[in-house]
């Protein structure tokens, strides 16, 4: 297979995915923006040398995992995990482990979850260039139809898709959780087991940093769930969670009004239920096109693709169009993201190369872990949240797959086409531009 233009997509796509929501357009950014470049350099200490080193280390670790099949040759895929663990190769390796749990993890098989239209994203990015995910788990969440596990599975899919963008790998994302109408019946769905699973996943098992959670319209029933969850959260993670009630002025202290819809006190005109019925069928196909999880299990993922970070054979990057809005997958870091990557993630060509090399070596030593550790893009995805520390990225990769093994019921048949009720229910709002 010929070399492709957007290797982080792990596919043969010739064009980047786009999406439209009304008059808003969404684009997948294949390069680091200036802010992301600065963060990568300052926070992740990312350099080309470090990336290469960590990628090689991670590849070696992955090569030693006989039962782990991952796109080990895809630099973008590796970097996604390395960034998630600040280029700590061992932590990244831990995050990657147990990729076989992705069996049947296909968006087009989760159709029920789209019908409730419970997810969306702001078409604007924040001042730090971060995308904003909006999740509605209040009255929009039809808990008698969509189980809490189905809801959780959709969140996994959305974050997996978000983690493919280099800018999001470096800058992280922001989540707004709207719980208006949350009641006792919904609160009872969050059992201790579910809370433990969800918190474990958010804190330790995803190759992307969630920089902040903003909870709005909360009530006493939300407090009940919060009191159960709080002891399970690490101190540093608790600091990222903010409660605003119905005070949207408080929310705007963190997220500019230009990034918020009018019903959240912002300036963006946007309908509550933006997806016409005729467009709903397109959602799982686009997500599936971006993720292409099936290919994650195939030998074909070892081939060089145009968009290797997507681990697929797509000839074009999928797009989403809703009216005048278009969602486009950004496959490269913008100048801003590159600056953030350099200043905050320590990311330089040297650091990236070294971190990838080290992470690959660490993964090669993990005999029970089968990952695409030859894929540099895949390794970098985990190195970035780990600031290019190979050991940390290795651990993140292992946690990533160990979580999927432990909670295999969540990942079994995790296909977007099987979750249309949650997606179409508008509970989780798609990642748009950054706050």
DSSP string covering 140-161, please? T--TTTS-HHHHHHHHHHHHHH
For 375-419, the DSSP string reads EHHHHHHHHTTTTT-HHHHHHHHHHHHHHHHHTHHHHTT--TEE-
Q: Identify the top-confidence range among 153-157, 178-182, 199-203.
A: 178-182
Does pLDDT of 173 surpass 80?
yes
Q: What is the pTM of this model?
A: 0.65
Q: Which residues, at least 6 apart from 236, have a Cβ–Cβ distance to it below 8 Å?
A: none
Could you tell me the two tokens for 33?
Answer: 């923006």
Domain that holds residue 264: 8-429
CA atoms of 45 and 200, how far apart (whole Å): 26
Instruction: Give the angle 372-311-79 at the CA atoms, nearest 5°.
Output: 55
Do the domain assignments include residue 100? Answer: yes
- Out of 1-15, 41-55, 298-312, 356-370, pick the least confident: 298-312
**82 alpha-carbon distance from chain centroid:** 14
Phi-psi region of 31 (alpha: psi -120 to 50; beta: other; left: phi over 0): beta
Could you tell me the two tokens for 405?
Answer: 């093994």
Q: What is the mean pLDDT of residues 94-100?
A: 60
pLDDT at position 289: 46
> Phi then psi for 211, rounded to 5 degrees?
-75, -30
Q: What is the mean pLDDT of residues 253-269?
A: 91
Does pLDDT of 6 surpass 60?
no
Does pLDDT of 31 surpass 50?
yes
Does pLDDT of 208 surpass 80?
yes
Does pLDDT of 309 surpass 90?
no
Do the domain assignments include residue 395? Answer: yes
Task: DSSP letter for 25, please.
Answer: E
Q: What is the mean pLDDT of residues 346-367?
A: 89
pLDDT at position 294: 32
pLDDT at position 377: 83
3-state helix, strand and coil shares in percent for the chain, rounded to the nearest 5: 40, 20, 40
Do the domain assignments include residue 1? Answer: no
Do the domain assignments include residue 434? Answer: no
Does pLDDT of 50 surpass 70?
yes
Does pLDDT of 251 surpass 90?
yes
pLDDT at position 405: 75
Does pLDDT of 278 surpass 50?
no
Does pLDDT of 346 surpass 80?
yes
Do the domain assignments include residue 81? Answer: yes
pLDDT at position 280: 41
pLDDT band at 29 (very low <50, low <70, confident <90, very high): confident
Q: Say how many domains are in the chain.
A: 1
pLDDT band at 427 (very low <50, low <70, confident <90, very high): low
Residue 215 bridge partners (DSSP): 177, 243
Q: What is the mean pLDDT of residues 168-190?
A: 93
309 in helix, strand or coil?
strand
pLDDT at position 114: 55
Q: Tokens 């970070």 belong to which residue?
A: 309
Q: What is the mean pLDDT of residues 393-415?
A: 79
Do the domain assignments include residue 398? Answer: yes
Q: Identify the top-confidence range among 277-281, 302-306, 406-410, 414-418.
A: 406-410
pLDDT at position 335: 86
Does pLDDT of 235 surpass 90?
yes
Q: Are 252 and 260 in contact (CB under 8 A)?
A: yes
Q: What is the mean pLDDT of the chain?
A: 76
The residue among 148, 236, 134 whose CA lies nearest residue 188 is 148
pLDDT band at 296 (very low <50, low <70, confident <90, very high): very low
CA atoms of 269 and 298, how far apart (whole Å): 43
Q: What is the CATH number of the domain that holds 50?
A: 3.40.525.10
Do the domain assignments include residue 167? Answer: yes
pLDDT band at 351 (very low <50, low <70, confident <90, very high): very high
Q: What is the mean pLDDT of residues 125-136?
A: 90
Do the domain assignments include residue 153? Answer: yes
pLDDT at position 81: 87
| Residue predicted with more confidence, 389 or 371 | 389
CA atoms of 93 and 62, how far apart (whole Å): 7
- Out of 270-274, 296-300, 377-381, 416-420, pick the least confident: 296-300
Q: What is the mean pLDDT of residues 384-394?
A: 93
């Amino acid at each position: 297979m010929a070399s492709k233009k957007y290797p982080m997509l792990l596919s043969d796509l010739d064009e980047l995915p786009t999406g439209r929501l009304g008059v808003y357009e969404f684009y997948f950014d294949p390069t680091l923006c200036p802010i992301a470049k600065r963060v990568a350099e300052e926070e992740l200490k990312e350099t080309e040398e470090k990336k290469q080193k960590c990628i090689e280390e991670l590849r070696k670790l992955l090569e030693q995992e006989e039962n782990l099949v991952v796109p080990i040759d895809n630099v973008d895929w590796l970097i996604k995990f390395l960034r998630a663990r600040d280029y700590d190769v061992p932590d990244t390796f831990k995050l990657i482990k147990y990729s076989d749990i992705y069996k049947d993890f296909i968006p087009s098989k989760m159709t029920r979850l789209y019908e409730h239209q419970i997810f969306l994203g702001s078409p604007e990015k924040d001042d730090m260039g971060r995308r904003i995910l909006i999740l509605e788990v209040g009255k929009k969440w039809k808990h008698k139809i969509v189980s809490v596990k189905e809801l959780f599975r959709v969140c996994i899919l959305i974050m997996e898709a978000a983690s493919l963008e280099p800018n999001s790998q470096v800058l992280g994302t922001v989540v707004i959780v709207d719980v208006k109408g949350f009641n006792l019946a919904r609160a009872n769905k969050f059992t201790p087991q579910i809370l433990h699973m969800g918190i474990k996943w958010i804190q330790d098992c995803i190759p992307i940093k969630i920089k902040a959670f903003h909870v709005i319209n909360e009530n006493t029933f939300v407090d009940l769930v919060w009191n159960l969850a709080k002891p399970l959260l690490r101190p540093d993670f608790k600091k990222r969670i903010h409660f605003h009630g119905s005070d949207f002025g408080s929310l705007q202290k963190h997220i500019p009004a230009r990034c918020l819809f009018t019903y959240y006190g912002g300036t963006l005109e946007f309908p509550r239920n933006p997806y016409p019925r005729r467009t709903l069928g397109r959602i799982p196909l686009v997500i599936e096109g971006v993720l292409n999880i099936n290919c994650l299990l195939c030998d074909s993922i070892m081939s060089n693709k145009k968009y290797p970070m997507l681990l697929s054979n797509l000839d074009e990057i999928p797009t989403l169009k809703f009216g005048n809005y278009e969602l486009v997958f950004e496959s490269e870091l913008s100048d801003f993201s590159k600056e953030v990557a350099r200043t905050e993630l320590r990311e330089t060509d040297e650091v990236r190369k070294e971190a990838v090399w080290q992470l690959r070596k660490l993964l090669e030593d993990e005999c029970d872990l089968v990952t695409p550790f030859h894929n540099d893009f895949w390794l970098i995805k985990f190195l970035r949240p780990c600031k290019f520390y190979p050991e940390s990225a290795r651990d993140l990769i292992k946690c990533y797959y160990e979580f999927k093994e432990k909670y295999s019921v969540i990942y079994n048949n995790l296909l977007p086409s099987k979750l249309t009720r949650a997606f179409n229910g508008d509970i989780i709002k798609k990642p748009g531009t950054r706050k």
